[in-house]
């Protein structure tokens, strides 16, 4: 046998994103505070971008203050436009940091975790009669979002049953961010399983949580988990990666009253224009990326050497690319947000209860973009509405096709599941299989595993715990 070494040529097609496309996709996924930070970083490292301090101050400075400032500059005969251009990298960084801090300090105080959850109560599935209890429970959450109160004490104070209190806590766990109100880590993560919808590992993540394997994972008892779930080592590694995408401390993105500020501010606003709800993207808090006239003059100056001109052109191109990426981002958010509002008119009447089944692919088809673009667009973006501030992702509601071919929202199935459990014989509670059969008879083709999933989200115990 001989080894025949030879060179061959192959022609293959691959798809590679241009740097501009990667930059646009990166900025599209950024939240509003992160985008601001990105732009300030660009200001600090790109000397051709004009000083944007005046742009930032314009949102809080009155016209009289502007005129007064201009008059004072007019009186200063030594002032020139070049005085606005930092001379050194150190100065640029220091000035940028100072402007950034001054801008953030001028912003209104953002929502605390309690405020963010409380603002969602009226449009939630919680019975209006239970809202005072829900507010009390939200007040007992710790910084990480876990319930830190005493259920026996609350039963004494409110006169409510343990089941009622846990039921309201389960509803709080479905608010944004999901998992807040949980009493255990497993309960917190189970409330977030919707994040894994469409993932091939969702059922196995649920089994890990429901079978109490978190401690095994923490202690490194991998073999025990793999044996109990009957999975290979490779499969276990993939499932573990999926599990780690869930947030173990859902409240940490927010802050308690009186502590450091977190920025969870809406950048889209739903406005009623002649009876039609329109989505407006608010970019007033974003600095303009403008090219300094000083560097433009240097390009035109014949005394400027070629290397300097080449550098200036490179920096101008970079600044223009950032500006175009921001503009594309705003246009995409506007288009996607408008398509969402058009698709969910029931939201403005009933809040989240009025949502119809909606997929990202449906919005992508309407806007003319890829569904992953929609996913990036709604990630960590909030919209202010008459029903409160809502994350755009919340408008996507999974649906079920009934036996009649009608699409119904997941909330309808959850409501019916609660009704079935409440009406059951407490001495012989219904199993998940029985609940599945009961739902199927009513036209909801829900599998046993799905019933178990929904039951966990609602905080409904298993058959044994419900038996009296």
Residues in contact with 453: Cβ distance below 8 Å, sequence separation at least 6, in sequence order? 193, 206
Per residue in 101-160, pLDDT (tens digit) is 444 444 444 578 888 898 888 888 888 888 889 988 998 888 889 998 888 878 877 888
Structure-block tokens of residue 141: 């959450």
Summarize pLDDT for 208-265 with one digit per residue, the tens.
999 888 888 877 788 888 888 888 888 888 888 888 888 888 888 775 544 444 445 7
Model confidence pLDDT, tens digit, residues 69-80: 443 343 333 333
More confident residue, 405 or 119: 119
CATH number for region 399-466: 1.10.10.60
Q: Which residues contact 170 (CB under 8 A, 6 or more apart)?
A: 181, 191, 457, 458, 459, 460
pLDDT score at 257:
46
For 290, 395, 459, the CA distances from 352, given in Å and listed in that order, are 41, 8, 19
For 438-456, what is the mean pLDDT? 83
- Residues 335-359, mean pLDDT to the nearest whole number: 87
Q: What is the mean pLDDT of residues 286-309?
A: 89
Query: Model confidence over 359-376: pLDDT tens digits?
Result: 888 899 999 988 888 888
* 17-59 pLDDT per residue, tens: 566 777 878 888 888 888 888 888 888 888 888 754 443 344 3
Which tokens belong to 397?
Answer: 């509601």
Q: Residue 360: what pLDDT?
A: 85
156-213 confidence digits (pLDDT tens): 778 888 889 999 999 999 898 899 999 999 999 999 888 887 788 888 999 999 988 8
Q: How far apart are CA 285 and CA 52, in angstroms?
A: 12
Number of Cβ within 10 Å of residue 202's Cβ equals: 18
**CB atoms near residue 92 (< 10 Å):** 19
**pLDDT of the residue at 289:** 83
At 66 the pLDDT is 43
* Predicted confidence (pLDDT) at residue 422 exceeds the cutoff of 90: no
- Residues 439 and 420 sit within 8 Å (Cβ to Cβ): yes
> So where are the chain's domains?
399-466
Q: Which of 182, 177, 190 is nearest to 141 (CA)?
A: 182
Q: What is the distance in angstroms between the CA of the first residue and the CA of the last residue of the chain?
A: 78
Q: Give the pLDDT score at 68.
A: 36
């Amino acid at each position: 046998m001989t080894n025949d070494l030879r060179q061959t040529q192959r022609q293959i097609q691959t798809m590679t994103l241009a740097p501009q496309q990667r930059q646009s996709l990166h900025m599209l996924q950024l939240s509003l505070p992160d985008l601001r930070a990105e732009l300030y970083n660009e200001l600090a490292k790109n000397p051709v971008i004009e000083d944007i301090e005046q742009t930032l101050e314009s949102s809080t400075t009155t016209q009289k203050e502007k005129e007064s400032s201009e008059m004072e500059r007019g009186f200063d005969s030594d002032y020139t436009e070049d005085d606005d251009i930092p001379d050194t990298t150190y100065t640029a960084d220091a000035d940028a940091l100072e402007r950034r801090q001054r801008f953030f300090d001028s912003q209104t105080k953002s929502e605390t975790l309690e405020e963010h959850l409380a603002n969602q109560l009226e449009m939630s599935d919680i019975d209006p009669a239970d809202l005072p209890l829900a507010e009390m429970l939200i007040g007992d959450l710790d910084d990480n979002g876990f319930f830190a109160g005493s259920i026996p004490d609350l039963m004494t104070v409110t006169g409510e049953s343990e089941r009622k209190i846990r039921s309201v806590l389960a509803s709080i766990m479905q608010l944004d961010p999901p998992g807040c109100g949980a009493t255990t880590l497993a309960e917190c993560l189970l409330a977030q399983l919707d994040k894994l919808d469409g993932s091939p590992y969702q059922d196995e993540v649920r089994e890990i949580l429901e079978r109490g394997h978190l401690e095994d994972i923490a202690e490194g008892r991998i073999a025990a988990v793999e044996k109990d779930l009957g999975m290979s080592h490779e499969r276990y590694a993939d499932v573990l990666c999926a599990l780690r995408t869930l947030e173990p401390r859902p409240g940490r993105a927010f802050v308690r009253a009186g502590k450091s500020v977190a920025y969870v501010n809406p950048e889209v606003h739903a406005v009623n224009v002649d009876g039609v709800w329109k989505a407006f993207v608010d970019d007033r808090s974003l600095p303009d990326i403008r090219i300094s006239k000083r560097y433009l003059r240097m390009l035109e100056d014949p005394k400027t050497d070629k290397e300097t001109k080449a550098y200036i052109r490179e920096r101008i191109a970079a600044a223009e690319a950032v500006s175009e990426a921001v503009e594309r981002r705003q246009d995409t958010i506007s288009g996607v947000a408008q398509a969402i509002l058009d698709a969910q008119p029931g939201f403005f009447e009933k809040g989240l209860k009025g949502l119809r089944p909606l997929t990202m692919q449906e919005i992508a088809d309407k806007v003319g973009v890829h569904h992953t673009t929609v996913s990036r667009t709604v990630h960590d973006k909030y919209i202010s509405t008459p029903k409160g501030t809502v994350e755009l992702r919340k408008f996507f509601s999974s649906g079920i096709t009934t036996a009649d071919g009608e699409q119904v929202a997941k909330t309808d199935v959850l409501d019916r599941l609660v009704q079935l459990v409440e009406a059951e014989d407490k001495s012989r509670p219904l199993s998940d299989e029985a609940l599945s059969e009961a739902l199927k008879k009513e036209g909801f083709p829900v599998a046993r595993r799905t019933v178990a999933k929904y039951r966990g989200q609602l905080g409904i115990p298993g058959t044994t715990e419900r038996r009296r």
